[in-house]
Amino acid sequence: MKNKNLLLAPELEDVLVTGYSKILRDLSKSGHPAEIAGWISALSSDKAWMILQHADTFLRSEIFIHLDKDLQVRIISDLNRKEIAFLLAGMSLGNRDNLLKQLPESLHESVLPALAQAEREDIRRSSLYREGSAGAVMTSDYASLSQHLTTSQAIERLREIAPDRDTLYCAYVVDENSKLLGFVSLKDLIVARRDDKVGDIMRSVSIFSRVDDKKEDAVENIEKYDLKAMPVINDDDVLVGIITRKQTLDIKFIPVATPAADVMYMETSVRSHFRNRYPWVIALAILSLVSGYIVQSFEGLLMQFTVLMTFMPMLADTGGNTGSQSATLVIRALALKEISTKDVLRILEREFRVAMLLSLPLGAIAFGRVFFFGSGSSVLDGFSLVKIAFAISLALGLQVISSTIMGALLPLGATKLKLDPALVATPVLTTIVDITGLLIYFTTAKLILGI
């Protein structure tokens, strides 16, 4: 990708020399913001900014957040306060906050005055709360009303604060100490009589978030109950902010799956990668010796039925594939907070049903393979090929079920133990599937063939 960027850099510079604004505007819209950022990353900071200026406000900010950290700092260092304000205005609170945390302290202090008062207040508030909490991602872009106002006074109040608020479809009702009492929608205020009290027409708030709650839990509730916004309160029930549905898009795709998710792959040293991986690799290599012991234990069976040896790779591959699929889906669901370790029984029930359905066609394929193409293998007198085919297909079906269940259980267990499921589950799964697969295979064959 970098080579491609370097090849494009001279072409981009030629376009800048010509000054064709339309070409530069089209360029900024010609791909995903991350791709555009990759194209301009090889340019100097001033030329990169020249291209960014031809994008509209929000697209400019989207492209900017995908640039390398060093390039971001160099660009901002050269901007005046007005340009910085326009750049930051198109960012979500989360992206803006992340950017400001990356800036050197001296530059951070010079950037803050370029923000509007409400935006500075959001940043100040978010810094007070634990990273990853609802308080750290909430916004102060909400409207609050006193319960003692009449509906006509409330509408007038909303009209006054409208220029500074984007979120006016719902207003939160608070008491004299700013404690959250309820909420009213614009429709509630409009259809009510002019002299009705806000406190009389407000509705209670049943879904809210505490400042220390996990931001992912807040996102889950917003989506579950289809809310446009959710209030955030402190331990004294004081309304301190809201999380909007729009914000959930930024929060949802921040990697949150594992304890190691806050460390970027390319920013982790080779030594650290080695330190994180070698205990598992060495331990599992030792454990894999069990597979050899199992094969050795059933050496007599293999000598009697060489056809069994032919299908061992198919058994291992199929078990590994189904187990990996299950593990991948569970890890992804954990990362997106669609499930938690508390859902283990529901997950196992679902995966068992899927595994049963998978085992039927896979078992049929194995049976057909043995029956129609296994005639060349040596079969002892008194044992039919049909019986051998049934034993192999049944073993394969059982392997699919056990591998799928283990594929679901391992990420859940790793998460429960606060380990990285992506780092632990896959190598452990491979070793366990090999061991259990061989045990299932040979034990099933012995029982079916009556040896």
pLDDT per position as a tens digit, 38-70: 777 777 888 888 878 777 767 788 888 888 878
Domain ranges of the chain: 2-115, 143-252, 270-449
SS3 210: strand
413 versus 119: the higher-pLDDT residue is 413
Average pLDDT over residues 248-270: 49
Average pLDDT over residues 260-267: 46
User: What is the per-residue DSSP string for 12-81?
Assistant: HHHHHHHT-HHHHHHHHTSS-HHHHHHHHTTS-HHHHHHHHTTS-HHHHHHHHHTS-HHHHHHHHHT--H
Average pLDDT over residues 156-168: 74
Cα gap 86→42, rounded to integer Å = 24
DSSP state of 183: E
> The tokens 């899927």 sit on which residue?
354
DSSP state of 181: E
Cα gap 147→175, rounded to integer Å = 7
Average pLDDT over residues 412-438: 76
Q: Are 434 and 291 in contact (CB under 8 A)?
A: yes
According to the model, what pLDDT value does residue 173 have?
94
For 127-149, b/e burial (b = at least 16 CB within 10 A) is eebeeebbbbbbbbbbbebbbeb
Count of residues in the chain: 451
Cα gap 115→432, rounded to integer Å = 55
20 versus 401: the higher-pLDDT residue is 401
According to the model, what pLDDT value does residue 438 have?
81
- Per-residue confidence band for 269, with pLDDT thresholds at 50, 70 and 90: low
Average pLDDT over residues 157-175: 79
CATH architecture of 143-252: Roll (3.10)
Segment 285-337, tens digit of pLDDT: 566 566 566 666 666 665 566 666 666 777 777 887 788 888 888 887 887 67
Whole-structure pTM value: 0.41
Residue 414: other Cβ atoms inside 10 A: 22
Segment 103-147, tens digit of pLDDT: 766 666 666 666 666 566 666 666 667 777 888 888 777 888 999
- Per-residue confidence band for 22, with pLDDT thresholds at 50, 70 and 90: low
Q: Is the pLDDT of residue 92 over 90?
A: no
* Least reliable range by pLDDT among 12-21, 78-87, 117-126, 332-341: 12-21
According to the model, what pLDDT value does residue 201 have?
94
Structure-block tokens of residue 78: 């050269």
- Per-residue confidence band for 184, with pLDDT thresholds at 50, 70 and 90: very high
* Least reliable range by pLDDT among 33-42, 88-97, 365-374, 392-401: 88-97
SS3 178: coil
According to the model, what pLDDT value does residue 182 have?
94
Instruction: Give whichever of 302-316, 345-359, 416-430 has the largest mean pLDDT.
Output: 345-359
Average pLDDT over residues 407-421: 83
* Fold that domain 270-449 belongs to in CATH: Tetracycline Repressor; domain 2 (1.10.357)
Q: Is the pLDDT of residue 37 over 90?
A: no
- State the pairing for strand pair 209-210/143-146: unpaired
According to the model, what pLDDT value does residue 301 have?
63
According to the model, what pLDDT value does residue 106 have?
66
Q: Is the pLDDT of residue 2 over 50?
A: no
According to the model, what pLDDT value does residue 189 have?
92
Q: At what angle do helices 45-52 and 2-18 cross, to 10 degrees?
A: 70
Q: Find all residues with CB under 8 Å of 442, minimum gap 6, and list them.
A: 294, 297, 298, 301, 308
- State the pairing for strand pair 143-146/170-174: parallel
| Share above pLDDT 90 across residues of the chain, in percent, rounded to a whole number | 13
Q: Is the pLDDT of residue 76 over 50?
A: yes
Of 154, 159, 434, 175, which is closest to residue 320 (Cα–Cα)?
434
Q: Is the pLDDT of residue 226 over 60?
A: yes
350: exposed, middle or buried (Cβ count in 10 Å: 0-12, 13-18, 19+): middle
Domain 2-115 carries which CATH code?
A: 1.25.60.10
User: What is the per-residue DSSP string for 397-426?
Assistant: HHHHHHHHHHHHHHHHHHHHTT--HHHHHH
Instruction: Give whichever of 43-57, 186-200, 334-348 has the largest mean pLDDT.
Output: 186-200
According to the model, what pLDDT value does residue 108 have?
65
